[in-house]
């Protein structure tokens, strides 16, 4: 790559940081390290990276607080690093707008594969900015991937990038059923290595933000033992 993509690696375990840095640099990335949440935010604001690898348990500010601050101003991809028993943190991280999570202990090669997969998707969102209007319109609902905006019942909703992308993908294929694995591959852009709870978390949050939508003739419908679809009954 002509100009190296920079990764901000935030972990207070020097052994993990050193190993991950070696692998990332071997793959051609530039790496900035931070061992505290507060210094990580300073680094992020000084030079916005292409992606953030963010541990949950950190001194200063924890990873979820850092993620909240990043999402106030930026859609930069964030992959959370979580301990095996931190299920609550993984779910909350996804709800706050993390793009993916990797559970410790992890294979470093798998982590690098996740980084590459998430980065492959990032330019697609940027390119959409220059395309023609791509807004999807349904009764009382509009979704724009170019502007990353969702309007429901006349008001704009606050929605993390991946939630919006899941909604957009389903709504752009009305009445088609997708398995969790298909959504992970097509929205997140990689073959998922772990369980499929990621999708369920995003669907749950979308339903909370789109209450009573079925009265407008559409809804996110669960197809038992298969997956999900955006069901639309046009008048």
Q: Give residue 127's pLDDT.
A: 45
pLDDT mean for each 10 residues of the chain (235 residues)? 82 93 94 95 92 93 92 87 70 79 85 87 50 78 88 90 91 93 80 67 93 94 93 81
Contact 55, 39 (CB under 8 A): no
Specify the pTM: 0.64
Which tokens sit at 74?
Answer: 């930026």
- Residue 53's pLDDT is 96
Maximum alpha-carbon separation in the chain: 60
- One DSSP character per residue, 95-131 reads HHT-SEEEEES--HHHHHHHHHHHHHHHHHHHHHTTS
What is the model's pLDDT at position 177?
94
What pLDDT is stored for residue 114 in this prediction? 87
Domains of the chain: 6-128 (3.40.50.2300), 136-232 (1.10.10.10)
In this predicted structure, what is the pLDDT of residue 74? 84
């Amino acid at each position: 790559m002509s100009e190296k993509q920079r990764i901000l690696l935030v972990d207070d375990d020097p052994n993990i940081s050193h190993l991950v840095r070696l692998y990332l640099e071997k793959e051609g990335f530039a790496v900035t390290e931070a061992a505290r949440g507060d210094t990580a935010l300073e680094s992020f604001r000084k030079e916005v990276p292409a992606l953030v690898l963010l541990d949950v348990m950190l001194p200063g500010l924890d990873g979820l607080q850092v993620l909240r601050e990043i999402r106030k101003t930026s859609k930069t991809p964030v992959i959370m690093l979580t301990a095996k028993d931190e299920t609550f943190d993984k779910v909350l991280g996804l709800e706050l707008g993390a793009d993916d999570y990797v559970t410790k202990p992890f294979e470093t090669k798998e982590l690098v594969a996740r980084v590459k997969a998430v980065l492959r998707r990032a330019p697609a969102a940027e390119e959409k900015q220059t395309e023609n209007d791509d807004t999807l319109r349904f009764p009382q609902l509009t979704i724009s991937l170019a502007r990353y905006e969702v309007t429901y019942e006349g008001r704009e909703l606050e929605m993390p990038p991946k939630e919006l992308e899941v909604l957009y993908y389903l709504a752009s294929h009305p009445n088609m059923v997708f398995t969790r694995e298909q959504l992970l591959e097509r929205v997140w852009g990689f073959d998922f290595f772990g369980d499929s709870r990621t999708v369920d978390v995003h669907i749950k949050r979308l339903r909370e933000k789109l209450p009573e939508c079925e009265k407008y003739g559409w809804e996110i419908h669960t197809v038992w033992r298969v997956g999900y679809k955006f069901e639309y009954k046009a008048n």
